[in-house]
């Protein structure tokens, strides 16, 4: 059953909840990284430390957080926001970043368990690679909540994220409407596709969400992909890397879009990849038109690119709201409250959140999911939605800064 609670997105009250949030962008030294012990895949539930066995009996509850990578802007902010908000609620936080590698994340989670955390919050590098170490969590009786990215393991019953399909749909709708595909008559348009990292189950949702909108136009021939690369895997960007996206798009432009051949749009899954695509277009594309380019997140460099006309759209995901939902759901869990749609009113989420228990699966069962609604940002509404509402500050040189505290 899906219940939809509509409220006012980004109201003044919401801005107030961000004020007083004292986090800031983290450097590697500031995350609570500790000495590394190896995770043993062949003995995942093996010898647990005393701390792991006694994880809940040392006074303050410890929130263990495993994030994918400190150098990808959004996870850095997520880490900073979660740490601050949990500490404000009186929890101790043990936060680790995994360098975008599966091995490091398994080791991180193993360490968090041994360091005695009471609950694990994980944004997975690869959603189906954690089954072993999550068995270890189960053996130590440590619950797990999936943050933003789907985890495929029956140990994971709860999921806090954005509506992944909608993120892609907003990108597809932007391209459809900007090119006015429904009134193309005999005209055709050239588009290229840059998907996310298929290790991340969310990337699938973004691709499918966008394709639901754009496929009819690809099928009818209104949209053409001159590179011929349309499928999810052939268009993917390993690790959502800016450099890899730039390299692939450079190859495509030089091979298929010489002077005189117009590239109308690039459907690009997120902002880190969009930075690379924008660079490739700037350096290699000879046409005079502005190539439509989508993204996701609202990373500060991309906001600047949107204002400068180098990117056209981003499906903005409000991290202050997503982290708030995560902190509230975790608090409810720690207080042994029921985890269901009632939390939306209980915690007074004055932004759009959907509770769903039939949308996102852990591979065995549907997870109880809280799904926030992304917002399509373009040059037309960037200032009014993101700056005027207090999420970012625009500096005098035109660059943006995310506001994490009253500064
Ligand atoms: C997140 C996106 C992010 C991407 C790369 C996805 O799982 O949902 O917000 O852009 O990972 O970090």
pLDDT for the residue numbered 188 = 98
Condensed to tens digits (0 to 9), the pLDDT of residues 92-108 reads 999 999 999 999 999 99
pLDDT in tens, 78-87: 999 999 999 9
Question: Residue 325: what pLDDT?
Answer: 98
78 C-alpha to ligand 1 centroid (Å): 11
Q: In this model, does residue 42 exceed pLDDT 70?
A: no
Closest CA to 201 of 151, 250, 156, 235: 151
Ligand 1 pocket mutation, candidates 74, 274, 294, criterion most atoms within 8 A of CB: 74
Q: Is the pLDDT of residue 390 over 60?
A: yes
pLDDT of residue 111: 97
Q: Output the pLDDT for position 17.
A: 35
Indicate whether 3 pLDDT > 60.
no
The fold of 164-296 is Rossmann fold (3.40.50)
Of the listed ranges 38-47, 119-128, 211-220, the one predicted with least confidence: 38-47
Model confidence pLDDT, tens digit, residues 266-313: 999 999 999 999 999 999 999 999 999 999 999 999 999 999 999 999
Q: Which ligand 1 atom is nearest residue 123's CA?
A: 7
- Please say if the pLDDT value at position 170 is more than 50: yes
% of the chain with per-residue pLDDT over 70: 85
* Other Cβ atoms within 10 Å of 299 Cβ, number: 23
Q: Are 98 and 108 in contact (CB under 8 A)?
A: yes
Has this prediction a pTM greater than 0.85? yes
168 vs 211: CA distance, rounded Å: 8
pLDDT tier for residue 404 given thresholds of 50, 70 and 90: confident
For the chain, the structural domain boundaries read: 2-162+318-373, 164-296
Probe ligand 1: pick from 79, 202, 207, 322, max atoms within 8 Å of CB? 202
Residues 40-64 have a mean pLDDT of 61
Which among 394, 242, 384, 379 is positioned nearest to 309, based on CA atoms?
379
Ligand 1 geometric centre to CA of 259 (Å): 34
Query: Ligand 1 centre and the CA of 145: distance in Å?
Result: 17
Cβ atoms of 130 and 153 closer than 8 Å: yes
Cα–Cα distance for residue pair 332/370, rounded to 1 Å: 13
* Percentage of the chain modeled with pLDDT above 90: 83
List ligand 1's pocket residues with C-beta within 6 A.
72, 74, 148-149, 200, 202, 240, 270, 272, 296-297, 317
In this prediction, residues 161-176 reach a mean pLDDT of: 98
Q: How far apart are CA 84 and CA 4, in angstroms?
A: 29
User: What pLDDT is stored for residue 73 in this prediction?
Assistant: 86
Closest CA to 339 of 329, 327, 331, 349: 329
Which residues does 396 contact at the CB level (< 8 Å), separation at least 6? none
User: What dotted CATH number matches 2-162+318-373?
Assistant: 3.40.50.2300
Domains 2-162+318-373 and 164-296 share a fold: yes
Rounded mean pLDDT, 107-115: 97
What's the mean pLDDT when you consider all of the chain? 89
CA of 301 to the centre of ligand 1 (A): 16
- Distance (Å, whole) CA 256 – CA 253: 5
């Amino acid at each position: 059953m899906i219940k939809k609670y509509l409220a006012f997105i980004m109201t003044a009250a919401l801005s107030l909840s961000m004020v007083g949030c004292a986090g800031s962008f983290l450097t590697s030294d500031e995350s609570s990284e500790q000495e590394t012990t190896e995770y043993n895949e062949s003995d995942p539930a093996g010898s647990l430390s005393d701390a792991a066995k006694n994880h809940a009996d040392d006074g303050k509850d410890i929130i263990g957080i495993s994030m994918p990578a400190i150098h990808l802007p959004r996870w850095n902010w997520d880490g900073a926001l979660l740490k601050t908000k949990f500490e404000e609620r009186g929890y101790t936080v043990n936060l680790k970043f995994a360098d975008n590698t599966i091995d490091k994340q398994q080791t991180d989670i193993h360490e968090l368990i041994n360091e005695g955390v009471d609950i694990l919050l994980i944004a997975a590098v690869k959603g189906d690679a954690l089954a072993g170490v999550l068995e270890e969590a189960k053996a130590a009786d440590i619950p797990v909540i999936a943050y933003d990215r789907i985890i495929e393991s029956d140990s994971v019953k709860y999921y806090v994220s954005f509506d992944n399909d909608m993120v892609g749909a907003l990108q597809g709708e932007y391209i459809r409407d900007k090119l006015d595909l429904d009134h193309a008559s005999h005209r055709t348009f050239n588009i290229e596709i840059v998907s996310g990292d298929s290790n991340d189950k969310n990337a699938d949702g973004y691709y499918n969400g966008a394709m639901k909108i754009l496929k009819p136009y690809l099928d009818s021939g209104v949209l053409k992909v001159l590179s011929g690369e349309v499928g999810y895997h052939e268009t993917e960007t390993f690790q959502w890397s800016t450099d890899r996206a730039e390299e692939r798009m450079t190859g495509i432009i030089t091979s298929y879009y010489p002077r005189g051949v117009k590239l109308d749009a690039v459907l690009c899954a997120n902002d880190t990849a969009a930075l690379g695509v924008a660079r490739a277009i700037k350096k290699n594309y000879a046409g005079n038109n502005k190539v439509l380019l989508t993204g996701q997140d609202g990373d500060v460099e991309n906001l600047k690119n949107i204002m400068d006309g180098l990117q056209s759209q981003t499906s903005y995901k409000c991290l202050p709201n997503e982290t708030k939902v995560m902190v509230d759901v975790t608090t409810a869990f720690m207080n042994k409250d029921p985890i269901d749609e009632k939390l939306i009113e209980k915690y007074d989420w004055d932004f759009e959140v959907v509770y769903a228990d039939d949308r996102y699966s852990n591979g065995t069962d549907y997870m109880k999911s809280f799904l926030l609604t992304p917002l399509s940002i373009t040059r037309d509404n960037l200032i009014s939605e993101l700056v005027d509402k207090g999420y970012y500050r625009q500096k005098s040189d035109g660059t943006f800064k995310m506001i994490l505290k009253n500064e």
